[in-house]
Structure 1
Amino acid sequence: MTQTVAKNGGTIRDIDDPMMFAHCPQGLFGLQAAEAGAIVGASRWAGNGMGRKIQWRWLALIVLGVSPWAGASVQLSGESLYYLLSAEFATQQHDSAIAIPAWRHSVDQVPVAPVLAAAAKAAAQLGDLPMALRWAKRWHELAPDDSESARFEAGLLLADGQDSAALELLQATLARFPDDERVSSQLAELLAQHGRFGDAERLLHTVVQNHPHSAAAQLALGRLALLQNQPKRAASAFAEALRLRPDWEEAAVLQAESLRRQGDSLAALQFLQSYCAAHPSAVQARAHLATLYLSLGGQTQAYRVLQQISLLQPDEPKVWGQMLPLALAEADWRGAQRALEHLRELAPHSPLVPYYQGRIAEDQKEWSKAREEYAKLAGTPLADEGQLRIAQTYYAQGQKDKALQELQKIQARHPNDAQIPLLRAQLLQEEADYGDAARVLDQALERNPRDAALWYARGTIAELQKDYAGMEKAMRIVIELRPEDAQAYNFIGYSLLERRQQLAQAGAYLEKAIQLAPEDPNIQDSVGWYYHLQGDQKKALDYLQKAHAQLGDEPEVLAHLGRVLWQLGRQEEARALWRRGLEKHPGSKQLQEALLHP
């Protein structure tokens, strides 16, 4: 099966969702739930030109979410207590303008280790690295017998790019606290990040020998294996971590990731399904499950998982923002309205609010109201998206000239952006205006002759025009520009199958496609149909059942799968499959033809 819509960067552009929906697991050496505060500061530093290298460094920080002076013998005056409480409250509110000066007064008046620890952690959470490092050094000086002070300072040194100093500090701390597995794990992380995998592995194996019941050590071994692209070894370590700590959500997510990296996304899916069923409050695992469903084409299943997460985290605006595009895609208007109401309440100034108000109005064909909402996006990061949607509302009303005028305005602001002609071509394609679509793409290719997405779109238009030589030329250019583009190989191969031409060559293209993307359900469908045409119904059934498991009742897959079942003598099963498909897709000519002429 082929996908005949414009593509960008190898994936179909989803103009219905301005935000990328992805909830990735924490970094290979990520934080525990109680340590997540440091991530807030990470975004500021990573966004100031320090790049991706800094992000993993911030994940090395260990920030404990407890009152730092609880139980400590600290004599507090009225003034010092006032500053401490002000500092802690301002930190919770993420108000650095108040929090940092209050912490400065606190450490000046009560310069003891617990207060310095709290100040250092707060400064790290608020993104003030220099102050965090300054207070962490003083904390470590006052509490040399506290391994946490050394680990925290080492994390800050990593964030500041002082790798050698962090390495030296951790090695000295390990010599002083040889049985502290947390120091060993952090040191192993640093060694691994510097490519010293052998040293890191030896250190972790020592930890495992000394602490055979340490789930954390097993998790660290698994992460190390993933860093070395050894997913089978990683899976073994994560399984042991889960045996020791069955409820450890991070280990479950990483176990699923190790299965996916072994090329078995279905096993990863089944594993997470079982884990989530056994752990009803597991949010991180459910988020990863939703992402996995989406990667396999399971939009409906992903939406249901997000609905479960919204019950667990009703005050998290990101969850409602992620639900909205799926609610619209599922035509769940009540669900979309409910998600929008929550998002408006939790994040009233987010540009997603008017964007999705416009989307809901648009899907209900309230075109003027939709344009009014999209106009509110001017001056926000979604301004261009809003104008694109305005163009689509005009196009949907048949006002082609106005739609093109809106697109031309965006094109004038972004003359070298290939996305606008891609969208123009897509709109024209939807109206079966293939000639104009081809002209738009040809003009764009004159300016961007090495844009693979434009060539892919040009190939799809050529296919629709029955210009098969033009299609093959365009797709071969895509392959030249992006040798790993499985969809281009699949497109040529499936086109040949549909025309019953050069089946041997079609098989070669599809073999390459399935090698590049073995879990892609569209390619599985193509390969299954190839084996059907070759007369190997058992192999065909295997591939088509996999495609059906991921794509659900997609008419083309049902038509193919039913014909294979028919050939295998399972006629009643085939008829039932086609009838069920027609109930959901009554206009499908493929399913109608299959029932009439099996």
Structure 2
Amino acid sequence: MFLSQATGFATESSDAPVYRVDSNLIRLTFSEMLMIGYVDRPSEAKSNTTQRNQNRSARHYILARESSLAGKNAEAERLYRIATSIDPENLAAWEELGDLCFEQGRQREAADAWNAALEQQDDADLLLKCGLLEYELELLKRASEHLMRRRLLLDDDLPVNHETILQNAAMSEALKRLGNRGLVKAVRLEIESLLVQLALRSSSDVGNGKSWMRLVQNLTAIGDIRSARDAARLRLEHGSLEGEYGPWISSNMKTRFILLDALMGGSGEEVIQLIEMLDEKECLRGLPPDWRKDATLTSVLYEAAVDYATVGNQPGANLLFAEVLIHDPDHLLARNNLGYAAMESGMINRPLVEMLEAALVDARASESEALFQILDTVGWLRYMQGHYESDDYAVGAIEFLEEAASSSTGEPDPVILDHLGDALWMANRRDEAVDAWMAALRRLNEPEFKQITMRDMGMLQGMIWQFRVVDSRDLYDREYGAVLASLVEKLSAVEQGAPPEVAERIMFIK
């Protein structure tokens, strides 16, 4: 652990309060890294390259450039290497050798070539591209060295731009992983200050919107999810949302904030606050494809809840579903999803039962397209209550689940079939249970099913969210991985003559 502590200074400008990391803190951290061997000491011995060799190196460098422009990459590389061997201080040859390697996908060789150039002289652009590549390659010590050197090089007039923010984000992530928490804290404060300054200067044209979207994407790629989320939020809070494309920026930045907040384990509270703020500004919009359409507070809250659930943040999704019901107590799917999540977490009480049963009545009356989902949820509720078969008192789980399967659009979802199998087993209809489980397993094992589902999940990120935050395979596994494993275990148990492990019932809470 480094000894440094976060310090800095705050000043007032015409735009916003400004925070900058004290350069002495960066120098102290750099010195500590030197002492513990994280950074190589600068070489004091200078090359004794003669003027004749410098000229020879320059000639090979010129020939290398000509070969590169002619598309003769192998020859260009050979000549660049000769140039650097004759004169190790030929910075241009080192840098362009690195560029050539990078273009060919040889990233480690590119980083090494750029590093050789930087051993001779600092260059802000080269320090940035080398540091970012080294961070990507997990060369954290070298990355932090080069990015700190760039930060110190620009300290007197630190540019307020995306490059500085990306530099700081990669530097803070590298230092955090190396154990330096003090400087990381200060750098994060500087990132937030830079984001506010940048947002205050932002216009609401297409170019500015795309620029901010790239910034959020790049911060996400670096792994600084917090700064990516903050960038989306601060652009909405401090930047212009006026004009024709203000709603487009609002929709895209809002969607990115929701997804990133969900990934960070957010409670949903900040999402509610952001949506309410946008509603007050009269620039609330739904998902990016619908940015030209007005959106209601309820619809945007519901979309946010679904997005939270999709990326696996169910507690936050539950809070958002509950918020939807505050504004629209009759919202069908919010009632359904909140009720199903409550059962999954192990709670059944009288208000939950009444809410789900009322949702089913409303879904039938309105001939809702979501009827099969609500039938599945109510059927699962009956299962949890131990009411498997229909009788004179109430419809049982099996009847509801069979109706859910038959009313599904296309083939029934494997989850519905899995639920039906469990209910049939508990009703001692063992052969029918095995048939239902086998049907679910066959569906999951169909290449076409996985292909279509993965395609839909890819379209969700690429066309609906217009922001890729998770691997589609992870979304698929979250949706069906546990179901597949459970089906295999249950069918294996039956084949071996053992009782299958069906879903455990939940105790009713009065």
- Do both share a fold (TM > 0.5)? no
TM-score, normalised with respect to structure 1: 0.33
Higher relative contact order (CA 8 A, sep 6+): 1
Tell which structure's C-alpha radius of gyration is larger. 2
TM-score, normalised with respect to structure 2: 0.37
